[in-house]
Amino acid sequence: MSTALLPGLERILFTEEQIDQRIREVGADISRHYQGKVVKLVGVLKGSVFFLTALARHIDVPLKIDFLGISSFSNKDGAPGVVRIAKDLDDSIEGEDVLLVEDIVDTGFTLRYLLQTLAGRAPNSLAVCTFLDRNSRRIVQVPVDYHCFEIPDRFVVGFGLDYNQLFRNLSYVAVMKPEKSA
């Protein structure tokens, strides 16, 4: 897909080149940390697929990959909802060094739920890597061990992030026009 700005998008926040460079750096950091170990990347569907795939290519230690899917339900707009696992892991993580891979960490509610759930499955270690970190909206403090970019409190799409299931396939991250994301 070209880098031309599509209708509904305000501006490009991170280019394909910036994303690639930052993922290479984070992959190198992860490789150093897990040297001599096998790391299990656990991607959170659907948004993390693009990031996890790119990240895995830049990790130089043996790795395994698994996925889980989540659903969240809320009675009010903007209110934290109830999170549940819609698609569980295919394999056990007991005794594994697990790196949870997210597309974005926002309020922290979903990540807290995932960390509590996965910690109860007795991994050897459990860390978090997110593509985007919107710390300005954090309500629940959660550990983020690796992140590629911090972003402002704006609705963004691309590189796995969507709006109504659209825009995931953009090779860049763009800010949506306010009237489109409302």
Q: What is the CATH number of the domain that holds 89?
A: 3.40.50.2020
Instruction: Kindly state whether residue 100 falls inside one of the protein's structural domains.
Output: yes
Q: Sorting pLDDT into bands at 50, 70 and 90, what band is 14?
A: very high
Q: Is residue 59 part of a domain?
A: yes
Tokens at 99, concatenated = 């790196």
**What is the tally of structural domains in the chain?**
1
Domain that holds residue 70: 17-153
Known catalytic residues?
106
- Give dist(CA 161, CA 168) in Å, integer: 5
56 inside domain: yes
Residue 38 lies in a domain: yes
Q: CB 48: neighbour CB atoms within 10 A?
A: 25
pTM of the model: 0.91
The model's pLDDT over 30-61, given as tens digits with 9 standing for 90+, comes to 999 999 999 999 999 999 999 999 999 999 99
Quick check: is 66 in a domain?
yes
